[in-house]
DNA sequence: ACACATTCGAGAGCACTGCTCTTGCTCTGG
DNA sequence: CCAGAGCAAGAGCAGTGCTCTCGAATGTGT
């Protein structure tokens, strides 16, 4: 309420801020993060470049805002896709989330590159981003949790050296899941983005043609690896 | 022979070209691709910026040269690591190659970002790069080939929709391997870089601590997934 | 051995970038 | 109502990629 009613001044500020982000997002989608120019954004909005610094203290701050929005957009897309199959089995839900990630990446390549490609220049992930960044991960953890309600099949035992780390990760991420599952989950989480990145960044050129089918199969096997399937 | 004896002119050109690339690589390693500046390279080399254009027609061409060198450096590192365990079993060789990739990435983060992060701005992969880029992939294929000499365990059958694509990939990449294996191989290949990228780009911060152990375990499971182990 | 042609380095210059500082105008809270 | 805060505008600095021109050094053909 205070955010909307607190004066016309504040409202105008919000609107201009949103307009700047929108135009910046347009340029980001069109030409990539490297060619995003504060001056061009200002020009397109009919203001002078120095005026823009009242809203974002630097170009990197603008990019950081776009990064957070991108994480949120990706997370919202994944959550929406998950919601549509909320009643299905774990594997189906898992692949739905994975395919939502892939779909979002293909639809927003430059934004994906911004958050999962190389961090722009000096790469510092402010703590503000971690909440937005973990939405997809939380979704995947939730699916694994639901699948492990009953006494699941025993995973291959962890090597002795990994056990402390696996238990630490489990305690941090999902105390109700066995460390073997959490370890597999974290690995699958990273591997998912390997698949998406390779397709998006052209590494699959002249290698994989029917990428959608290939991806669906690969993430299905990922789901099996995490132990989401009935039998192993 | 002609490359060395063909006049002092050509030799000087080679030397200057190499000096430019070396200095550019230094700046790349120090500050990342975004901050690589032709003028700064020229300044450091004691020449004027316009002179540099006699050797590289644009900044992007310089970056392309660095990309090819990076692929070659990574490939050479992986091959060297593989050579040292050439007599070991397939899983051992597989993990050795994977760990070499990880080690190279940690040692050359900005160069890794250049080739496996977001392609710089306009991202066009010239055909010149594909040979250098496929060295690690060929290594992994070779390991799988050696492991599948005898009649290996039957992989879970491919879904019907993937079969044509799997057979096409197998025909292109490794006609002597079963399509199931080739499919798993390509997926594992991409997933490997997902693991490396997540560690390198900070996605594992506050998630995975003992990254070396985690990575070794993850790529071992990757090897099992490709069918390199004795029993499944 | 000489003249020609090619290659190269240097400098000036253009259009662009991120960012700062100062100058005024406008709007708002007490 | 009016002092002070918020804001846009302009000039300006240092840096960038890239182009063009102009001498000078250099290698080559006759």
Query: Would you give the DSSP letter of residue B156?
Result: P
Show residues of chain B in contact with A207, CB under 8 Å.
Answer: 169, 172-173, 186
Task: Please tell me whether residues A50 and A158 are part of one structural domain.
Answer: no
A9 CB-to-strand D distance under 7 Å:
yes
pLDDT of residue A8: 76
Residue B232 counted as domain residue: no
Task: Please tell me whether residues A145 and A195 are part of one structural domain.
Answer: yes
Residue A50 counted as domain residue: yes
* Nearest-CB residue to B162 (from A113, A125, A214): A214
Could you tell me the distance in Å between the CA of residue B11 and the C1' of nucleotide C12? Answer: 30
* Residue at which a domain ends, from A57, A72, A101: A57
- Taking an 8 Å cut-off on Cβ atoms, the answer to whether B201 and A119 are in contact is yes
* Residue at which a domain ends, from A38, A57, A76: A57
Residue A173 counted as domain residue: yes
Task: Please tell me whether residues B93 and B151 are part of one structural domain.
Answer: yes
Q: What is the DSSP string of B172-199?
A: HH-TTS-HHHHHHHHHHHHHHHHHHHHH
Residue B183 CA to residue A167 CA, distance in Å, equals 32
Show residues of chain A in contact with B191, CB under 8 Å.
Answer: 190-191, 194-195, 218
Residue A204 CA to residue B137 CA, distance in Å, equals 12
- Taking an 8 Å cut-off on Cβ atoms, the answer to whether B195 and A198 are in contact is no
Residue A232 counted as domain residue: no
- Taking residue B47's Cβ as centre, other Cβ atoms within 10 Å add up to 16
Task: Please tell me whether residues B47 and B105 are part of one structural domain.
Answer: no
Task: Please tell me whether residues B66 and B177 are part of one structural domain.
Answer: yes
Show residues of chain A in contact with B114, CB under 8 Å.
Answer: 118
Could you tell me the distance in Å between the CA of residue B117 and the C1' of nucleotide C30? Answer: 55
With tokens 């694994």, the residue in question is: A144
Would the pLDDT of A121 be above 60? no
Task: Please tell me whether residues A199 and A92 are part of one structural domain.
Answer: yes
Task: Please tell me whether residues B199 and B115 are part of one structural domain.
Answer: yes
Could you tell me the distance in Å between the CA of residue A168 and the C1' of nucleotide C27? Answer: 56
Would the pLDDT of B124 be above 80? no
Residues B181-186, mean pLDDT to the nearest whole number: 97
- Give yes or no for a contact between A219 and B141, defined as CB atoms under 8 angstroms apart: no
Q: How many domains does chain A have?
A: 2
- Give yes or no for a contact between B168 and B211, defined as CB atoms under 8 angstroms apart: no
pLDDT of residue B6: 58
Task: Please tell me whether residues A125 and A28 are part of one structural domain.
Answer: no
Residue A152 counted as domain residue: yes
Report the predicted TM-score, pTM, of the whole model to 2 decimal places: 0.94
Task: Please tell me whether residues A62 and A136 are part of one structural domain.
Answer: yes
> CA separation (Å) from B12 to A63, A72, B39?
43, 53, 21
* Nearest-CB residue to B118 (from A173, A201, A206): A201
- B121: confidence class by pLDDT, cuts 50, 70, 90: very low
Indicate which CATH number applies to the domain containing B110: 1.10.357.10
* Nearest-CB residue to B208 (from A116, A169, A198): A169
- Give yes or no for a contact between A223 and A229, defined as CB atoms under 8 angstroms apart: yes
Residue A4 CA to residue A14 CA, distance in Å, equals 9
Q: What is the mean pLDDT of chain A?
A: 91
Q: What is the pLDDT of residues A165-180, one digit of tens each?
A: 999 999 999 999 999 9
Residue B231 counted as domain residue: no
Task: Please tell me whether residues B108 and B130 are part of one structural domain.
Answer: yes
Q: Which of residues 66-105 of B touch strand D (CB under 7 A)?
A: none
* Residue at which a domain ends, from A11, A26, A57: A57
- B122: confidence class by pLDDT, cuts 50, 70, 90: very low
- Which residues form the domain of A215? 58-226
Picking from A71, A95, A194 by the largest number of B CB atoms within 10 A of its own CB, the best residue to mutate is: A194
Lowest mean pLDDT among A21-35, A150-164, B201-215, B217-231: A150-164
Residue A103 CA to residue A109 CA, distance in Å, equals 10
Task: Please tell me whether residues A49 and A76 are part of one structural domain.
Answer: no
Indicate which CATH number applies to the domain containing A28: 1.10.10
Would the pLDDT of A115 be above 70? yes
Residue B115 counted as domain residue: yes
Residue nearest to nucleotide C26 (CA to C1'): A9
Task: Please tell me whether residues A169 and A219 are part of one structural domain.
Answer: yes
- B157: confidence class by pLDDT, cuts 50, 70, 90: confident
- How far the first Cα of chain B sits from its last, in Å, is 52
Residue A185 counted as domain residue: yes
Tell me the nearest-neighbour CA distance from A84 into chain B, angstroms: 24
- A7: confidence class by pLDDT, cuts 50, 70, 90: confident
- Taking an 8 Å cut-off on Cβ atoms, the answer to whether A214 and B173 are in contact is no
């Amino acid at each position: 309420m205070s955010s909307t009613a607190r004066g016309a001044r504040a409202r105008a500020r919000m609107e201009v801020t949103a307009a700047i982000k929108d135009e910046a997002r347009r340029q980001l989608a069109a030409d990539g993060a490297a060619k995003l120019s504060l001056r061009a954004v200002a020009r397109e909005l009919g203001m002078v470049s120095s005026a823009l610094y009242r809203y974002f203290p630097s170009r990197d701050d603008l990019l950081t805002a776009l990064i957070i929005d991108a994480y949120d957009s990706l997370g919202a897309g994944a959550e929406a896709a998950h919601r549509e199959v909320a009643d299905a089995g774990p594997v189906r839900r898992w692949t739905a989330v994975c395919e939502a990630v892939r779909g979002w990446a293909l639809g927003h390549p430059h934004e994906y590159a911004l958050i999962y490609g190389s961090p722009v220049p000096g790469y510092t992930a402010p703590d503000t981003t971690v909440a937005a960044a973990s939405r997809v991960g939380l979704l995947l953890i939730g699916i694994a949790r639901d699948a492990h309600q009953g006494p699941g099949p025993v995973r291959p035992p962890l090597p002795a050296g990994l056990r402390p780390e696996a238990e630490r990760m489990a305690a941090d991420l999902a105390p109700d899941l066995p460390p073997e599952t959490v370890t597999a989950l974290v690995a699958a989480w990273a591997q998912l983005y390997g698949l998406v990145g390779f397709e998006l960044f052209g590494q699959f050129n002249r290698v994989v043609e029917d990428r959608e089918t290939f991806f669906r199969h690969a993430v299905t096997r990922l789901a099996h690896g995490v132990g989401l399937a009935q039998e192993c």
